[in-house]
Amino acid sequence: MTWFDESRLDDEIALGSADLRLRTLAESGARVRREAGAASAAIAEAVARASDARPRAVIAAGPDSRLLRAVLEPWCPVPFVAWPSAGLPGWTGSLDLVVVLAPDGSDSGTASAVAEAARRGCQVVVACPEESSVAQHAAGRWTTILPTSTGDQLATAVVMLSFLHQVDVGPPSDPDAVAEALDDVAIACSPQRDISINPAKMLAIALADASPVVWGGSVLAARAARRVAESIRRTSGRTAVAGDAEHLLPVIEAARPRNVFADPYAEDSGQRRPVLIVLDDGAEDPAIREQRGRLEDAADARGVRVETVTTEADGEVARYASLLLNGTYTAEYLRLGLVED
């Protein structure tokens, strides 16, 4: 039988067993600074090469293209396509800009896509390790490699988004602002901060006997919600779902109203009730407010607990990073607190 021991969240020995994972989270801001600094010269080269004319279209290739789509689709002034599958769209040509995130640089499908882009004469900008397979396949007259070394997807994306902003096809994405937002979360959620003032530890306790239902209203908050749910599933082995409001409402509405007189030792007492986690990045769109209201009203009617994660970071990408790291810390503390008899 698995149960949650919240005392482990402030226990030095237990925290020591998770030191490597927690330290990796704490270094998230440092990785963003490191990657942005190392790629600054290459970014300037790519910007100079792209200064002649705006591309006909921007194609984000490779399996990590979905994050770029979440950032760019509402903003990009030219047609934008995310192409996570192998190869490139058939119409891609020399008038187009192909951008690729390859944090580890070893994916064969991504390597094939950048090689095809180089053959077609596209302007190609690839964020990847310099000596990787993807970098070798990207060699070409119109190719620029933005060198990375940490294998961190978010840090690699911030490098690419910095370039895209400077060529006026992406929103502002200041690496320092993203790194500062990550540092703020690392301080607030540090293992040295006890349960009473640590938001990630408190949220982990709220999820101790629950099934998380994670929702974010904006495009980026929704992506953060999916990533947080993935982290919870991976660290705890428990069910955690994320999705749009219409997909999550049936989960909340299916919960039985809480009975304060129920026998806690009854046979069905082990069934975990949902807890609604709202990732709030400050988006003020009326449709988002309406969807959130429906979810919270349904939760209130069923006695489902609502937990809200907020951020005041500067910029859309920084707010996404803040919400994601907060949720990832929560998942690690949930893993730490779960013990087996």
Residue 213 and residue 245 in contact, taking contact as beta carbons nearer than 8 Å: no
Q: Is the pLDDT of residue 265 over 60?
A: no
How far apart are the C-alpha atoms of 320 and 324, rounded to whole Å?
A: 6
- Between 50-54, 138-142, 317-321, the lowest mean confidence (pLDDT) is in 50-54
Structural domain boundaries in the chain = 2-18+191-340, 30-171
Q: Is the pLDDT of residue 267 over 50?
A: no
Exposed, middle or buried by CB within 10 Å (0-12, 13-18, 19+), for 329? buried
Alpha carbon of 186 to those of 30, 42, 182, 223, 225: distances in Å?
Answer: 11, 29, 6, 20, 19
Does this model's pTM top 0.75? My answer is yes
- Between 1-5, 34-38, 41-45, the lowest mean confidence (pLDDT) is in 1-5
Q: Which two tokens stand for residue 7?
A: 């005392």
- Between 25-29, 244-248, 270-274, the lowest mean confidence (pLDDT) is in 270-274
Percentage of the chain surpassing pLDDT 70? 96
Q: Across the chain, what does the average pLDDT equal? A: 93
Say if 2-18+191-340 and 30-171 have the same CATH topology.
yes
CATH class of the 2-18+191-340 domain in this structure:
alpha beta
Structure confidence at residue 263 as a pLDDT band (50, 70, 90): low
DSSP string, 220-276: HHHHHHHHHHHHHHHHH----EE--HHHHHHHHHTSPPP-TTS-TTSGGGGSPEEEE
Q: Which two tokens stand for residue 190?
A: 């540090």
CATH 3.40.50.1860 fits 30-171, yes or no: no
Structure confidence at residue 256 as a pLDDT band (50, 70, 90): confident
Residues contacting residue 254 through CB under 8 Å, at least 6 positions apart? none
Structure confidence at residue 74 as a pLDDT band (50, 70, 90): confident
Q: What is the mean pLDDT of residues 113-130?
A: 95
The secondary structure element, H or E, covering residue 109 is: helix 108-119
Residue 324 and residue 224 in contact, taking contact as beta carbons nearer than 8 Å: yes
